[in-house]
Structure formats: structure tokens, C-alpha cells
Chains A and B, each alone.
Chain A
Amino acid sequence: MKSFDAPAAGGRTPARRRAEDVAGLGRVRALLFVAPALVVIALFLLFPAVWTIVLGLTDYRLTGVAAANTQFVAGENYTRALSDPSFWNSLKLTVVFVALSGVVGQSVVGFLLAWSTRHVAGWARTVLESVVLAAWVIPGSVVSFLWIALLDRRGGTLNMLLHMPGKAWLIEHPMTVIVIFNIWCGTAFSMQLFSSALSAVPPSQLESARMAGASGWQQLRDVVLPTIRGHVLTNTLMITLWTFNTFTPYLLTAGGPAGKTEILSVYIYQTAIPGGQLGRGAALSMIMLVINLAIALLYMRVGRKRS
């Protein structure tokens, strides 16, 4: 596609190809250059995806009789999974988790931060942004412990501040905790994305809206949001995908207590690895892959339309 823009192309195909392949690589050598990367991608991305389909149709287990003698069970893993209340519980928790912590929480907090700091300059903004960014950059196993310390029943900072000794947040409100935790971890992305989107809104439009007497809310609704609609969509889809696939809540609650925070990623892990039911786990992974595919295709479509 790029070559159509080249002014020197002159329209003849052979000339154009030669103009592109200036290093004289040739197709064979080019394929050799690409091959190693393709092998790694095929082996560790493509194969797992395909193998998930195969594995999901068997009763493969890590140990026991089925481990030595794996049988083809067709759709049994799927029918079993779909009739298992723990799967539906997990799916429900996942929807709540993605909707509240990702789509609503991170987007809204991120946008409000970007919007309200757009005219704040200097150290105040730097400090605020650095703190939000740090929460996003620090490795998951560290931030999880920071939250465990914060919420600790006996000596945690939160109970100390609220004068509520003995309040067991992780046991009494586990789902609320991982939702807030995930907002805390991920808001930086939305904040950064919306900051750059907002800086692209033409100041002249805002100026004229203000001259016409539009309030802050009216400016936001009638000028800003229509301009950054594409960014809002991108942000929502990316965040949905990431939040749906995150494993970090496992580090905080390990799916507990009693499966109350067992979002799909954690549920698959518990079923397949400690539980040893790899076939069942693969069937669940397949469901996850299909949902991922739907989100990613939507994202690519949106992206292509924008460009």
C-alpha cells in the first residue's frame, strides 16, 4: 500500500518492487529473515490457540487414570462447564468486575483526572500523575502486597485511619476490594490516553462555546465528547480486554473466600492447574479465547474505520 504513495514509482510493477527492495534481499532471503520470528509465534501463540480446541474435546488430566489414557469426549467438557453453577458464578463475577472496575471505574476516574488537571500545571500535576502512574508500573505481586498491608485486619493503615480495628475487608467485601484495587492499578492508562486526546481538542471550539455561555458540563458534552469519541471507544475496548484477562486479583484473594472473587481467569487456573483437569480448563479457555476474539475484532474494526 505504501508504494502507491511513492512519487517515483511510475506505475510499472517491476520497477516499483525493485525500488522497494533496495537492499537486494530477494524473497527467499526475506522469508529466511522472517522465519525465526514466525516459528516462535507459531509455536507459542498459534499452537496454544489451536491446541486449546483439541484439548477441550478430551478428558486430559494431570494425574490419575485419565492422564495415562486420555479419551476423546467431544463436547462433554462444554456441557459440564455450562451446567456447573460455579462457572456461571465465575462468569457473573467477571462481568461485574470488568464493567465496574474497567469500563466504568478506570475510564471515569481516568477521564476525570485528565479533564480536571488539563489546566493545572507544575508540581501538583506532576505529583498526581506520578502517583497514578506508579500504581500502574509497579509489578502486580508488589502492589498486591501493598494492598494486603493496607487492608490488614489487625495493623493495616486503613483500619488505623478509620478507627475500625479488626475489620476484615478481604473477607467481608472481597469483590468490592478487587474492583477498587483494579481501578487503582489501571487508571493510569485511561488518564494518559484521555490527556493526550483532550490536548487535541481545538481550543478555538472550546473558546467559542464558552463565549456563547456554555457551562463546563455543556462544553464537555457538546464539544469535547464528540471530538474524542474515537478515543473513548478505543479506551473502553482495550480496558475491557485487559481487565477481562487480568490475573492480578488472584494475588490478592486467590479467588476466595469461597469463590467470591473467582473471576474467569482465576477459575480457569484453579480448575486446570491445582485441580488437574486440563481438558475442562481448556474448554473454559476456549470460551475466554472466543470472547477475546470478539473484543479484538471489534477493536480492529473501529481502528480501521478511524484511519
Chain B
Amino acid sequence: MSTDDTLPIVRDDARGDARQSASPVHAIRRQPTIVDHGRHVAARILFVLLLVAVGAFFALPLAWLFIAPFDATPTMAVTWPDWTLANFRRLADNRYALGSILNSILIALGTAAVTTVLGTLASYALSRVRIPGRDGLLYGMLLLSSIVTGTAAMVPTFQLMNAIRLVNTHTGVILVLAGGLLPTVIFILKDFMDSVPKSYEESARMCGARPHQVLGHVVMPVARPGIAFVSIWAVVQVWGNFLVPYLLLRDPASQPAAVLMYTFYTESGQADLRLISAFALIFALPVLLIYFFVNRKFGFRFHGGIKS
């Protein structure tokens, strides 16, 4: 497309200059011939084929997720299905399947609640009061959260949770995950808080509002998009997290879907594909929906922070 647009310009130029100089630049500006045109079409076709191939590479593994759950007899291969919805009924018969989804919801919402509440309080105070060393503190926290990842900190985290008896509890998982997300949440929310006009708070204070009332009735409603953004972001971050719950939750009844999914295909001898396929789709769907909905709304910013 880009070449088509400029062709007339190049041609006009070439008419004037072509005979005057034989430099390489001018050599390019000659009249397009049939051969050039053929080459152009060939390049276009090659380009499209290449894009289709790349698309196929990304789509091929995904196809199973959207086809096998609706197949009465799913195999490992992607084949034309014998349409049914019975596989989803099978989920209800499995002792752990629904429970694990509930565990996932509990962990995701719990982490989102902890990070959002603590993050809102902290970011508001950091935005409005000049605490000594504030910028250093913010950068220090961000640095810490990017280097102390789940993988690098799994050993001390495991031992800490053992020592304070939070192993095998959802509280433990929620706190560990919240600790990892909080610096980023505070950073994002502080940006939102900084943009809340200060005159609103001044007027509220004139009318005699207490600081917590100012926060609850004036600032939070204005900063609501930011608060909604970080809580959704936290949910998406936590929903698929495998390592932390895998490390800290040993009882299958308390494990979230991310861990159960892994257990399903590694420990159950002959894998039950009807169960696994339906379960995988149910488990993946919330983040897919959130993602495509929110991504459209927030654009790349959401994307950039995700899975950090």
C-alpha cells in the first residue's frame, strides 16, 4: 500500500531528472516496467502468505482450546468435533473442578481488595503530603518489586510462610501476591491521585469535612477510573498465577484452577480430555473477556503493566 501511494510522486520526479544523472538514487527513479509490476505483485503475495503463516503459528495451539471442549470424544489433535455441551456438565461431577474455580475467584478478589485498599490509602497520602524521601521510596519499591519475583524469592517466601504458619492458607497466598503487586499499584494510583484537582478537597475542607471523609467522598469518586483499573489489573495478574499457590498450597481442596489444571494433566494417569478441555476453557475465559474488554478501553497501558 505504501509503495502504491508514492509511485506517482516518484514517477513525476523521474521524468525531470532521469537523463541528467546516473547516480544510484536516480537509477531507482526510473519508469516502472511490467517486470517491476510483476515483482511488486509477487512481493505482495509473499508478504500475505508470510503473515498467514505467522497467524497460523499462533492460532494452531489455540484451536484445541476452542474446539475440544465441544467435542463428544476429544483427542489431543484438533479435528472436526462431534458437537456437544456434555463436557461442561462433567465439570460438576468432579470434586475439585468447581471448588478450584471458587478458590481462584477468592484469591483473585482477595488480592485485588487488599492491593486496592492499601494502595489507595498509600498513594493518596504520598500524592498529597511531602514525606521526606518520597520519590526515593517510590523508586525503591518499584525496583524491589521488579527484582524480587516469585521465582527469585520462592525459597525465602516458602520458609517465611512456614514460620508464620500461613502455609496452606489462602490468606498467605493473597498476602504474598499483594506484596508483589502493591508497588506498581501505588505507582499507578499516585498518578491518578496527582491529577485529582486540589480545589475539590479545599472546598470539602472548608465545609468541615474530615480527612477520611475528603478521601471517601471527594477523592475516591474522582479517582474511580484509576481504582477500577488497578483492581482489574490485579485480578488479571493473579488469575493465572501458578507458582505462588503451587508453592504454598498443598491441599488439593484449597488449590486454585491454575494449579489444578496442572495436576489434571500430570498426575491423573490417563488424562480425561473431556474434563480438561472444558475446564481449561472455563478457566481461561474470564481473563480473555476482561482482557479484550479492558484492553480496548485502556489501550496499551494496561497491556504494558500486565504480567510484570
Which A residues have a C-beta under 8 Å from some C-beta of B? 1-3, 17, 19-27, 29-31, 33-34, 36-38, 40-41, 43-49, 51-52, 55, 60, 109, 112-113, 116-117, 119-120, 124, 127-128, 130-150, 152, 154-158, 160, 184, 187-189, 192-193, 195-196, 207, 210-213, 215-216, 238, 241-242, 245-248, 251, 254, 265, 268-269, 272-273, 278, 281-282, 285, 288-289, 292-293, 296-297, 299-300
Knowing A184-B58, A242-B308 touch, does A134 contact B288 (C-beta < 8 A)? yes
Could you give, for residues 246-286 of chain B, a 1 whenever the CB lies within 8 Å of some chain A CB and a 0 otherwise? Answer: 01000000000111011001100000000010001001100
Q: Which of chain B's residues has its CB closest to A206's CB?
A: B2
- Which residues of B does A touch, CB under 8 Å? 1-2, 6, 9-10, 13, 25-26, 28-29, 47, 50-51, 54-55, 57-65, 68, 75-78, 114, 118-119, 121-122, 124-126, 128-131, 135, 139, 141, 143-160, 175-176, 178-180, 182-183, 186, 194, 198-199, 201-202, 204-205, 211, 214-215, 219, 236, 239-240, 242-243, 247, 257-259, 261-262, 265-266, 276, 280, 283-284, 287-288, 291-292, 295, 300, 303-304, 306-308
Contacting residue for A285 out of B64, B152, B284, CB 8 A: B152
Q: Is B51 within 8 A of A117, CB to CB?
A: yes
B156–A282 touching, CB < 8 Å: yes
Closest CB of chain B to A166's CB: distance in Å? 13
Residues on B with beta carbons closer than 8 Å to the beta carbon of A247? 150-151, 242-243
A residues in contact with B199, CB < 8 Å: 22
Given contacts A135-B58, A149-B68, A289-B147, 9 further A-B contacts (CB under 8 A): A30-B125, A55-B159, A128-B51, A136-B307, A146-B280, A149-B61, A269-B154, A278-B159, A289-B152
A-B contact pairs, 18 of them (CB 8 A): A31-B125, A41-B141, A48-B157, A55-B159, A60-B159, A119-B2, A120-B51, A127-B55, A135-B61, A137-B287, A141-B261, A142-B240, A148-B76, A154-B76, A188-B303, A193-B300, A248-B242, A281-B155
**Chain A min CB distance to B8 (Å):** 11
Give A293 to B156 CA distance when docked, in angstroms: 17
For B240, the closest partner residue in chain A by CB is A139
With contact pairs A2-B194, A40-B175, A141-B262 given, residues A146 and B155 touching in the complex (Cβ less than 8 Å): no
A22 and B128 contacting across the interface, CB-CB below 8 Å:
yes
Q: Give the CA-CA distance A160 to B194 in the complex, in Å.
A: 57
Residues of B close to A212: CB separation below 8 A: 25
CB contact between B151 and one of A141, A211, A268 (< 8 Å): that residue: A268
A33 touches B65 (CB 8 A): no
Q: Say which residue of B180, B205, B261 sits within 8 Å of A22 (CB atoms).
A: B205
Complex Cα spacing A137 to B58, Å: 13
Tell whether, in the assembled complex, residue B10 and residue A140 are in contact, meaning their CB atoms are under 8 Å apart.
no
- Bound: A144/B264 CA distance, A: 12
> Complex formed: what's the CA distance from A47 to B148 in Å?
10
Across-interface contacts of B51 in A (CB, < 8 A): 116-117, 120, 124, 128
> Which residues of the other chain, B, contact A216 by a CB distance below 8 angstroms?
2
Provide the main secondary structure of the chain A interface.
helix
Distance to closest chain B CB from A5 (angstroms) = 11
A124 to chain B, nearest CB (A): 8
Closest 7 CB pairs between A and B?
Answer: A44-B179, A139-B240, A33-B125, A30-B129, A292-B147, A37-B122, A48-B156
Chain A neighbourhood of B65, CB < 8 A: 138, 142, 146
Chain B residues with Cβ under 8 A from A136's Cβ?
307
Given contacts A157-B76, A192-B300, A251-B242, contact A137 B288 (CB under 8 A): yes
Q: Are A272 and B135 in contact (CB under 8 A)?
A: no
B232 CB to closest chain A CB (Å) equals 13
- Report whether B152 and A27 are in contact in the complex, using a CB–CB cutoff of 8 Å: no
Whether B152 lies near A300 (C-beta < 8 A) is: no
* Structural contact, A47 and B160, CB atoms closer than 8 A: yes
Closest CB in chain B relative to A91 CB, distance in Å = 14
**Chain A residues near B291 (CB, 8 Å)?**
133, 137
**Which chain B residues border A300 with CB–CB below 8 Å?**
139, 143
Q: Is the CB of A27 within 8 A of B179?
A: no
CB-CB under 8 A for A33 and B77, given A55-B159, A141-B262, A145-B276: no
Of the candidates B58, B176, B182, B284, the one having the most CB atoms from chain A within 10 angstroms of its own CB is B58
Report the Cα distance A117→B58, complex, angstroms: 15
Contact between chains at A27 and B129 (CB < 8 Å)? yes
For A2, list chain B residues within 8 Å (CB).
194
Q: Are B58 and A132 in contact (CB under 8 A)?
A: yes
- With A131-B55, A139-B240, A273-B158 known as contacts, the answer to whether A45 contacts B179 (CB < 8 A) is yes
In the complex, A251→B143 CA distance in Å?
28
CB pair A282 B155 closer than 8 Å: yes
Given A27-B131, A33-B125, A155-B76; A272-B25 close (CB under 8 Å): no
